[in-house]
Structure 1
Amino acid sequence: MKKYIIMLAAALTLGSCADKLDITPPNNITDEQIQQLLASGNEESIRLVMGSMANNMPLMFNYAGTSGVGNADMYYSNQGMDMMRSLQGNDMVLGDVSGLSALVGAPEYGFDNFISANSNKNVVYWNYGWTCINQANKMLNFLSDPVVGINKFLMDYKARGLVVRAYGYNYLMENYQNAYLQGGNGKLGVMLYDMFSPTQPGKPRSTAAETYAFIKADLNNAIRLFTEAGIGHTADLTDIDLAVANFLLAKVSIWTGDWNTAITACNTILDKYPTLMSEAQYGGKNTGTATNPVYLPETNGFLNNASNPEVILGFPVGISKTYLNAYTNPFGEGNGGVLRNYKRIDNRLYEKIAANDYRKTCFMEKDFGDYTYPRNSTKAFIPAYTNTKFAATHGLGSTNKVEVGTVTCYYMRTSEVLLMKAEAQAQLNNAEEAKTTLNKLLAARTKTGTTALTCDTYPAMAGLSALQMVYLQTRIELWGEGGREFYNNKRWNIPVDRASSSNHIAKMTYPVANMTLQIPEDELLYNPLAVQN
C-alpha cells in the first residue's frame, strides 16, 4: 500500500507542490513519486518537494499541536510543556494566594501525579518527542547517502532532519530516564528507529549508552553535512544551521559528561555569537508611571529578537508561538496576568542576586499593587517577586494595551552557551578557566556605572566552588526559560525543597528519583517489546 507524506503544516505546501508538478492526485505526493523526482535529477522539482519538507523541520522546535491532554492549552505546545517543568522546581513560584486549584498549572506546581504510565501529564512529552522523530524520519527516508551524494542542498536538508531527530531523542531521554551521570548510564534508553514506516514492527529499548551514541552520531553527521555544503551559520534565525547543531551537541555532551566535546562545540558557537544582551535589552523596562506602567516589547530582548543579539534559534511575529509570554507576562490577560497566575521568583534565589546585577530588576522588589487589565477593566493585585523579565503592556508594533501578546520567541541563546562551557571547564577541574568564562557573563550583567562583577566579588558566590558558581549563575540567567531548572536539577541531583522559602505557596519537597517519567501505557500496550523503567 502506498504511503502518503503528510508533514504537519507542510501538507498544504506539498499539495501546492503537487499542483505545480502536475502530479495526480493533486493534493498528495506518494513515496514513489518523490523517489522518481529524486532520481530524475530535476533540480527545480527536487527543491520544490524536498524543500517543502526541510523548511518545516525548524518548526518542530516551535511547536503546537501536542496530543494527549484534551484541551489543556499548557500542554498543547512545547513552550507550555516547558512551563510545566519550570513550575516543578525551586525557583519559580506560582501565584500568591491559597486555593491553588483555581490556577492553571497548580497540579504541576503541587507535584500532582505526572510521572505514572497512565498520566495524561506524562504522555504529551512522549508524543512530542516522537512527533519530532517521526517527522524527521519521513524526510530522511528519501535522503540516503547515495541519493544525497555531493548535492549541497540535499546535504542541507538531510542535516536539518538529523538535527531534529537528535533533538527528539534527546528530549525523550531528558524526560524518560534518569540523568546519565546520576545512574542513567547503566539503564535503558528508548527505541531507536532510523526510518519511518507505519507498519514496521516495534523495537525494544536500546541502552542509554546506545541511545546517546545514536544522538551524537546524528549531530556529528549533521555538522559534517553543513560544513561540506558550506552552510555554516546563516543570517536567518529560523534556520537549523551549524550553530543549532553545535548547541544540541554541547547540550547532549554536558548531559553525558563529554566535557571536551562540549567546550569545542561551545567555542564554535561563541566565535559566531559573542555578543550578550545589554542592560537596556535585558527584560522589561517601565517607561510609563508607577500607576500606569508602559512595558514595550520592542526593547525587551526576551520578547523581540531584533533587540537580542544572543538569539541562535528564534522565530518572528506570525510564526512564533507566544504561549510562554502568555503564561509569564504579569500585564497580559492570559494565564500569567489577570487571573493572578503570576510567575514569581523564589525569594531565596532573588536574595542571592547581587545588588549591582541588573537581572535583579527583572523581578518586583515590592508589591506592584492593583493593575487594571484593559480588555474588561478588571483589577488584580500584582505581588512582590513577580517577574518583569517577560513583561509587556503592549504587543510589538502596537500602541493599544488590549493588543498585548504579539511577540517573537527564541529557543537557544548565547548566555546558555557560555554557561555550558563554564560547566564543562569546572567539571574538568579547570576552575580558573571556568571563572574566566563566567566573568564574561557577569561583566555583561553588571549595572551601568558600577564596577564589573566577577566570580571573586559576587557576594553570594563567596566560598563556592567553580561548579557551584555555575549552578547559581545558570539558575539566575535562565530563570523561566525552557524548563531548564527542572532538567538541571535532575542532572545535578538537586531535589526540590521549598520549605524555607517565604513566598512559595506550595512548600513541597520532591526527590530527584521521581523526576523520571514512566514509559506511557499505550507504548507498553502496542509494543510488546517495550519494558517499563
Structure 2
Amino acid sequence: MKNYIKIAITLCTTAFLFSSCSKFLDTQPQGSYTEDNYPWPTGGSPYDQYIFGAYKDLRSYSVHVDGFINATSIRSDDADKGSTASDGGADVIAMDNFPVQTNSGRANALWTGHYGLITKCNTALKEIDSNTTVVADEALKLQGKAEVRFLRAYAYFNLVRFFGRVPKIDRLFEDAASQSNVPQSTAAEIYAFIEEDLNFAIQYLPDTWDSQFIGRVTRGAANGMLAKVYITQKKWQQAYDAANAVRTSGRYNLDTDYSKIFSEEGENSSESVFEIQATASPSVTQDNGIQYASIQGVRGAGNWNLGWGWNTPSEALEAAYEPGDPRKERTILYSSTTTTTNKTVFGENMPIYPSDVPNPRYNHKVLGSPSLRNTISRGGWWINVRILRYADVVLMYAEAANELGKTDEARTALNEIRARARRGAAAGVLADVTATDQATLRDRIRHERRIELAMEHDRFFDLVRWGTAQTALHAAGKTNFSNLRDVLLPIPLTQIDLSKGVLTQNPGY
C-alpha cells in the first residue's frame, strides 16, 4: 500500500496549482497527494493525476513561451523582436518581418507543443472513461472531462488560429506514426469541435474551486473562451450571449487597478478568468515555473540581466495611446537616456539606452518585483501568464453588442473599461465615449482592445479577424506581410514529411 501511495505522489507532483498567498513560501505543488489526503485531496478527484499532466503542459516552452510570444505578439504591429539585430537568427527575424519559413523551428515547436497538450488531454479522457483501479461518482467524472475538454479546446483554438487546417485528434492512437498520418480538417470543422468541447465544459465545470486548487478552469473561463471562439468567427449573437454569461455571473469585476493586474499581487484577482499558474522559490527557481517573463525581460548586465530582451513594445503601439493614459506607463518600460532617468513601477532607475541596454523600450507587464528578483532569480519564472482577463470579456461583449446594433449597451461596456483605466489620472483623461453610430463605436472598441490588452497576445489575431492586418502591419513598417499568405503560419515542413505528404501546405508558402 505504501508503494502505491508513493507512485500516486510521484505522478501528481506535476501539478502546479498554487494559491498566491503561499506562492513563494512553499514550492510543493498544491493538489498533490500525500499519505494524509490519499486517495485524493478533498475537493479533487482520483483523475487529478492525469488532469494535472495536461495543466503542466500549459507551462511548456513549446506552448506558451518562445514560439507563442513570437507568433502572437512579435508578428503584430504592437511589438518588435527586440534584443540585438541578429539575436534569434533568421527564424525570429522572419516572425517579425515575414514571411515565416516552412522550416521554422518555432512554428514546428508550436505544432508539437500543442499536440502534446492534446495528447495529455486525450490520455486523461481515456483514463476517466476506462480506469477501473479508482472509483468516482459520475459527477466527478463529468467534471474531470469538462476540465480536460476545456484545455483541449483551448489548444485547438490556438492551432486553428496559427495554422488554419489542422488534423483533428480526438482520441489516443496506438503509435505516433498513425497520428502523423491523420489528414487536416477544415478550419470550420475544427471550430465546430472546439465549440462542442467548450459547451460540454460550460455544462459541467464548477463556478469556483477551493483555494487549494486556484487556477483550475471554471464555467466562467469556458464561457469567456467560447465568446472569443465565436467572435473570431463573427458569430455575433453567440459571442454576445457567452460574454454576457460571464458579465452576469457576479464572479468577475474591474475593481483591480490596472497598475496592479500584472504584479504578483494582482495574480488570480477578480479580473482573472483564465491564468496559467507558476511559482518559484530560492531553492526551486524554475521547475514549477515558466520561462515566459525571462524571454521578454530587460537585456542588460548585472542586476539588469533579466532575460533575452525580446518582444519589445513598438513605436506604433507607443503612438496609439491617448494623452495621459496611465496604461501606457504600466505597459511600456522605458530605458533611461543620458539626459532622462526613467523608472520602473517599483521605483528603480532604468539602465541607459543604448550604452547599457540594446532597446529603448521593454514589456513592463512582465517585470517581477525586485525583492523576488533578488531572492529567487532574475528570470521571473514565477510570473503567471494572463490568458483571458475580464476586461477582454467586457470588450468582446461591447464589440458583439455593437455589431448587433445594440449601440447603447456597447458604449456602456466600453466606458466601463475606460473608467477603470483613468482612475487616479488627471481630469479629462480618457473621457467617456459619447458616439452613437455603429461605425464610430466599432473603431473606438477596436482602439480600446489594442490599448487595454497591449502585449497580451491578442493583437495579431484581432487584426486578422477584422481584415485590417495588412494595412496595420505595413503602417508599422512590416511591409513584407501579405494577406494572401501571412495570416497563417506555414504547416511545418517537418510535419509534412512525417505524414508522408498527407498534410498539405498553406497558400502562399
- TM value normalised by structure 2: 0.74
Q: 1:323 aligns with which of 280, 285, 291?
A: 291
Aligned residue number for residue 253 of structure 2:
275
- The worse-fitting range, judged by mean Cα deviation, of 352-361 and 520-529 is 520-529
Tell me, yes or no, if structure 1 residue 351 matches structure 2 residue 324: no
Query: How many residue pairs get matched?
Result: 443
- The amino acid that maps onto 2:483 is V
- The amino acid that maps onto 1:127 is T
Aligned residue number for residue 510 of structure 1:
481
Tell me, yes or no, if structure 1 residue 264 matches structure 2 residue 225: no
Say which SS state the counterpart of residue 273 (structure 2) adopts. strand
Distance between the aligned counterparts of 1:10 and 1:469, measured in 2?
53
Offset at 1:446? 0.6
Aligned residue number for residue 212 of structure 1:
191
Q: Flag the 1:356–1:110 CA change in 2: closer, same or farther, 3 A.
A: closer
- What is the correspondence of 1:14-93 to structure 2 with a 5 Å cutoff? 44=39, 50-64=47-61, 66=62, 77-85=63-71, 86-93=73-80
- The amino acid that maps onto 1:391 is L
- What is the correspondence of 1:239-258 to structure 2 with a 5 Å cutoff? 239-258=216-235
Q: Deviations over 1:4-52 (max 9, x none)?
A: xxxxx99941699xxxxxxxxxxxxxxxxxxxxxxxxxx9489775221
Distance between the aligned counterparts of 1:166 and 1:499, measured in 2?
32
- What is the correspondence of 1:422-501 to structure 2 with a 5 Å cutoff? 422-448=398-424, 450-451=427-428, 453-456=430-433, 465-481=440-456, 483-496=457-470, 497=472
Q: Is the 8 A contact 1:139 1:161 kept in 2?
A: yes
Q: Is the 8 A contact 1:367 1:382 kept in 2?
A: no
Distance between the aligned counterparts of 1:56 and 1:518, measured in 2?
29
Q: 1:224 aligns with which of 203, 206, 221?
A: 203
Q: Flag the 1:519–1:174 CA change in 2: closer, same or farther, 3 A.
A: same
Q: Is the 8 A contact 1:113 1:119 kept in 2?
A: no
Q: Deviations over 1:156-179 (max 9, x none)?
A: 1111111122112211101112xx
Aligned residue number for residue 504 of structure 2:
531
Say which SS state the counterpart of residue 93 (structure 1) adopts. strand
Offset at 1:462? 11
Q: Flag the 1:362–1:457 CA change in 2: closer, same or farther, 3 A.
A: farther
- What is the correspondence of 1:2-21 to structure 2 with a 5 Å cutoff? 12-13=10-11
Say which SS state the counterpart of residue 356 (structure 2) adopts. strand
Say which SS state the counterpart of residue 62 (structure 1) adopts. coil
Q: Is the 8 A contact 2:278 2:383 kept in 1?
A: yes
Q: Is the 8 A contact 1:304 1:408 kept in 2?
A: no
Q: Deviations over 1:308-343 (max 9, x none)?
A: 431223314237644332233337769x96788365
Distance between the aligned counterparts of 1:109 and 1:203, measured in 2?
27
Q: Is the 8 A contact 1:394 1:405 kept in 2?
A: no
Q: 1:412 aligns with which of 380, 388, 407?
A: 388
CA RMSD after TM alignment: 4.1
Aligned residue number for residue 159 of structure 2:
172
Distance between the aligned counterparts of 1:259 and 1:219, measured in 2?
17
* Structure 1 gaps, min length 5: 1-8, 17-42, 67-76, 178-188, 284-298
Say which SS state the counterpart of residue 411 (structure 1) adopts. strand
Offset at 1:368? 1.4
Q: Flag the 1:56–1:247 CA change in 2: closer, same or farther, 3 A.
A: farther
Q: Deviations over 1:63-119 (max 9, x none)?
A: 23x3xxxxxxxxxx51322321211111113448xx611367851454354252x33
Offset at 1:150? 5.7
Distance between the aligned counterparts of 2:270 and 2:299, measured in 1?
25
Distance between the aligned counterparts of 1:373 and 1:155, measured in 2?
52
Q: Flag the 1:367–1:143 CA change in 2: closer, same or farther, 3 A.
A: closer
Q: 1:203 aligns with which of 182, 188, 194?
A: 182
Say which SS state the counterpart of residue 159 (structure 2) adopts. helix
Offset at 1:452? 7.0
Say which SS state the counterpart of residue 240 (structure 1) adopts. coil
Q: Deviations over 1:191-219 (max 9, x none)?
A: 22321023356333223222211111111
Q: Is the 8 A contact 1:90 1:346 kept in 2?
A: yes
Q: Deviations over 1:353-406 (max 9, x none)?
A: 22242112235697512799999xx9614765544333346153x656974625
Distance between the aligned counterparts of 1:365 and 1:218, measured in 2?
39
Distance between the aligned counterparts of 1:145 and 1:112, measured in 2?
47
Q: Flag the 1:350–1:233 CA change in 2: closer, same or farther, 3 A.
A: same
Distance between the aligned counterparts of 1:251 and 1:479, measured in 2?
17
Q: Flag the 1:172–1:213 CA change in 2: closer, same or farther, 3 A.
A: same
Q: Flag the 1:208–1:10 CA change in 2: closer, same or farther, 3 A.
A: farther
Say which SS state the counterpart of residue 142 (structure 1) adopts. helix
Distance between the aligned counterparts of 1:213 and 1:130, measured in 2?
18
Q: Is the 8 A contact 1:329 1:391 kept in 2?
A: yes
Q: Is the 8 A contact 1:439 1:455 kept in 2?
A: yes
Distance between the aligned counterparts of 2:250 and 2:407, measured in 1?
25
Distance between the aligned counterparts of 1:56 and 1:272, measured in 2?
31
Between the aligned residues of both structures, percent identity stands at: 20
- TM value normalised by structure 1: 0.71
Q: Is the 8 A contact 1:259 1:428 kept in 2?
A: yes
Q: Flag the 1:345–1:408 CA change in 2: closer, same or farther, 3 A.
A: closer
Q: Deviations over 1:458-497 (max 9, x none)?
A: 9xx999622222211111111111x221222222222355
Tell me, yes or no, if structure 1 residue 125 matches structure 2 residue 104: no
